[in-house]
């Protein structure tokens, strides 16, 4: 029975990732570009918490490569960032699951903020130095979105019994 | 453990991707699938436009039609003048033995996406390697230069806009030919001229056109208009701010420019050498060597005095071009002392049909200050 459900609706996870990729390149008004949440990172964080046996660092790395191609950054840059995020989430997994939602958001904020700083560092290395620390804003927006993403995806997971 | 492997792998990938072109095919294959997402995210807007044009009211359409007709009339009126002027220009240049202006062919491309990174100014267009786009190709809109192609994918390409902080373009003031370098500021409505002397003759409202000196952009396209010139006695240089003439963040249809394979500098060199040769031989007739050129030179441009080809093909100076050698107007190849070589008459131009120019972009790009990404 477990074996039967193991592969059940696994495609839903990938569907959410595909939507995440679309969202991460969807056109936004100029002033909101700077606030674009890290959709892929949010999705990865959720699925890594929900089913760590399926979604892990390798998944994150592959998605990161896809994002690199989309963004035209060096191959491996976003892959590295997403891998780091997934690693941190997995490392804090036991605690994160016990936390209330607001506390989870805080942890997400810290993790994503760190990741964005690494991103800043990598961009500086490749000659594209972003002028400000406004770069940390997406982490903030993502943290604010986390409860909604989390509840929404949890509902989806229950409904389709994604396992 | 797995983290370590993946991190090392990522770093290795980044280094290899930055230094070599090893992963270009991989990237291009991945982009075939992934770039569809730009197209998909653009779909709602496209649909909306479709619907809007379906349900546009008749009066609106009539009004727009009227407007376009008037505009068309005006433009055609100007075109009549332009033909005569072009003709005249060619004749005058012949008299001066300077290189002819080459008309560039343009092709329309459509914007399909903006770069999601708010700190870079890059756009995605729907023409790619398979459409003959080359790296470094200039991109225009109806009003002026927009930028250049920086990444090629099979059916799409990425264009770096003029206003990106890593972009600079050599310009000159249209009024008096003063040269300067316009650098992007990261603000889509502003370029800055670097290192302009305080006493330089530049003032508000001046039109800046591309000078072609960076070997990347064709000369003579409008780039920006000067918005303000600030003379601050505390600063070593004047602060000159300009507004790009192209609608960098509004244009949806762009023009890709296919230019002559030779760079502007090479062209200038050729002209200079021709002049030198002319002087050496006491004003004797120069024999221009033909340069294999992309097949898109319009017939109006070329009308050389004595179109003769050198016996050996000028292989070293220009990248090889398929087909279509053209009786070029007074353009000797730099490596040959032209006046000494009697040579066979050159074959007439092969029909300049659908041959895309295989123009290579210049390898060095002084116009770009930053790194690749």
d(CA B164, CA B370): 10
For residue A43, what pLDDT is reported? 94
Specify burial of residue A5 (Cβ count, 10 A radius: 0-12, 13-18, 19+).
Answer: exposed
Q: What is the mean pLDDT of residues B160-184?
A: 91
For residue B112, the chain A residue with the least C-alpha distance is A27
Least confident of A80-89, B90-99, B248-257: B90-99
Q: What is the mean pLDDT of residues B118-139?
A: 88
DSSP B44-59: HHHHHHHHHHHS--HH
CB pairs under 8 A between A and B: 114
Cβ contacts of A20 within 8 Å, gap of 6 or more: A39, A40, A42, A43, A63
8 Å CB contact between A67 and A43: no
**Nearest residue to B185 via CA among B121, B123, B135, B138:** B121
For residue B103, what pLDDT is reported? 62
Is B356 a residue whose pLDDT tops 80? no
Is B14 a residue whose pLDDT tops 70? yes
Grade residue A6 by pLDDT with cuts at 50, 70 and 90. Answer: low
Is B350 a residue whose pLDDT tops 70? no
Q: In this complex, is the C-beta atom of A100 within 8 Å of any C-beta atom belonging to chain B?
A: no
d(CA A153, CA A147): 10
Chain segment B319-337, per-residue pLDDT in tens = 444 444 444 444 444 444 4
Least confident of B32-36, B202-206, B298-302: B298-302
For residue A130, what pLDDT is reported? 65
E strands along B231-348, which residues? 238-244, 253-258
d(CA A148, CA A19): 16
Distance (Å) from the alpha carbon of B368 to chain A's nearest alpha carbon:
11
Q: In this complex, is the C-beta atom of A70 within 8 Å of any C-beta atom belonging to chain B?
A: yes
Flag if B118 and A71 touch (Cβ within 8 Å): no
d(CA B180, CA B177): 9
Residues of B in contact with A59 (CB under 8 A): none
Q: In this complex, is the C-beta atom of A130 within 8 Å of any C-beta atom belonging to chain B?
A: yes
In percent, the amount of chain B with pLDDT more than 70 equals: 69
Is B307 a residue whose pLDDT tops 60? no
- Give the ipTM of the model, two decimals please: 0.81
Grade residue B282 by pLDDT with cuts at 50, 70 and 90. Answer: low
For residue B3, what pLDDT is reported? 87
Choose, out of A36, A57, A70, A119, the residue to mutate when testing the contact with B (most B CBs < 10 Å). A70
Mean of pLDDT over chain A: 86
Q: What is the mean pLDDT of residues A72-91?
A: 91
Nearest-Å Rg of the Cα atoms of chain A is: 16
Flag if B11 and A79 touch (Cβ within 8 Å): no
For residue A84, the chain B residue with the least C-alpha distance is B3
Distance (Å) from the alpha carbon of B137 to chain A's nearest alpha carbon:
17
d(CA A147, CA B48): 32
Residues of B in contact with A22 (CB under 8 A): 37, 40-41
Distance (Å) from the alpha carbon of B336 to chain A's nearest alpha carbon:
41
Q: What is the mean pLDDT of residues B332-346?
A: 42
Structure tokens at B62: 């009539």
């Amino acid at each position: 029975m477990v074996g039967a459900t193991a592969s059940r609706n696994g495609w839903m996870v990938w569907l959410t990732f595909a939507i995440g990729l679309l969202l991460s390149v969807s056109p936004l008004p100029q002033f909101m570009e700077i606030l674009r949440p890290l959709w892929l990172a949010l999705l990865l964080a959720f699925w890594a918490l929900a089913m760590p046996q399926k979604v892990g660092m390798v998944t994150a790395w592959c998605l990161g490569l896809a994002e690199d191609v989309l963004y035209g950054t060096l191959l491996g840059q976003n892959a590295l960032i997403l891998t780091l995020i997934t690693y941190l989430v997995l490392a804090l997994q036991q605690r994160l699951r016990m936390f209330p939602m607001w506390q989870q958001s805080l942890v997400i904020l810290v993790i994503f903020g760190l990741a964005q700083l690494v991103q800043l560092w990598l961009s500086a290395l490749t000659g594209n130095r972003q002028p400000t620390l406004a770069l940390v804003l997406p982490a903030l927006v993502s943290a604010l979105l986390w409860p909604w993403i989390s509840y929404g995806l949890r509902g989806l997971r229950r409904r389709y019994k994604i396992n | 453990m797995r983290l370590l492997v993946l991190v090392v792998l990522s770093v290795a990938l980044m280094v290899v991707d930055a230094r070599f072109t090893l992963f270009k095919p991989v990237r291009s294959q991945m982009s075939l699938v992934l770039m569809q997402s730009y197209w998909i995210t653009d779909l709602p807007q496209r649909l909306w436009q479709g619907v809007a044009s379906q349900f546009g009211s008749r009066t609106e359409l009539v009004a727009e039609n009227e407007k376009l007709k008037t505009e068309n009339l005006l433009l055609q009126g100007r075109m009549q003048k332009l033909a005569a002027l072009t003709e005249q220009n060619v004749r005058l240049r012949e008299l001066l033995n300077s290189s002819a202006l080459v008309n560039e062919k343009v092709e329309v491309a459509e914007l399909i996406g903006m770069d999601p990174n708010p700190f870079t100014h890059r756009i995605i267009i729907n023409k790619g390697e398979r459409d003959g786009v080359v790296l470094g190709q200039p991109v225009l809109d109806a009003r002026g230069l927009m930028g250049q192609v920086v990444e090629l994918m099979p059916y799409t390409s990425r264009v770096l806009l003029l206003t990106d902080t890593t972009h600079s373009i050599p310009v000159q003031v249209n009024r008096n030919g003063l040269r300067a370098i316009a650098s992007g500021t990261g603000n889509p409505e502003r370029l800055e001229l670097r290192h302009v002397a305080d006493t330089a003759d530049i003032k508000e409202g001046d039109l800046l056109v591309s000078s072609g000196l960076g070997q990347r952009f064709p000369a003579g396209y409008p780039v920006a208009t000067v918005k303000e010139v600030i003379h601050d006695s505390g600063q070593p240089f004047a602060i000159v701010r300009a507004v790009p003439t192209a609608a960098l963040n509004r244009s949806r249809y762009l023009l890709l420019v296919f230019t002559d394979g030779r760079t502007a500098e090479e062209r200038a060199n050729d002209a200079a050498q021709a002049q030198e040769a002319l002087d050496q031989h006491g004003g004797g007739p120069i024999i221009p060597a033909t340069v294999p050129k992309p097949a898109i030179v319009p017939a109006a441009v070329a009308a050389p005095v004595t179109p003769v080809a050198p016996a050996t093909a000028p292989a070293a100076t220009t990248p090889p071009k398929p087909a279509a050698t053209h009786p070029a107007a007074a353009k000797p190849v730099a490596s040959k002392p032209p006046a000494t070589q009697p040579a066979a008459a050159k074959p007439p131009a092969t029909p300049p049909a659908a041959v895309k120019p295989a123009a290579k972009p210049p390898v060095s790009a002084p116009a770009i200050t930053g790194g690749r990404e």
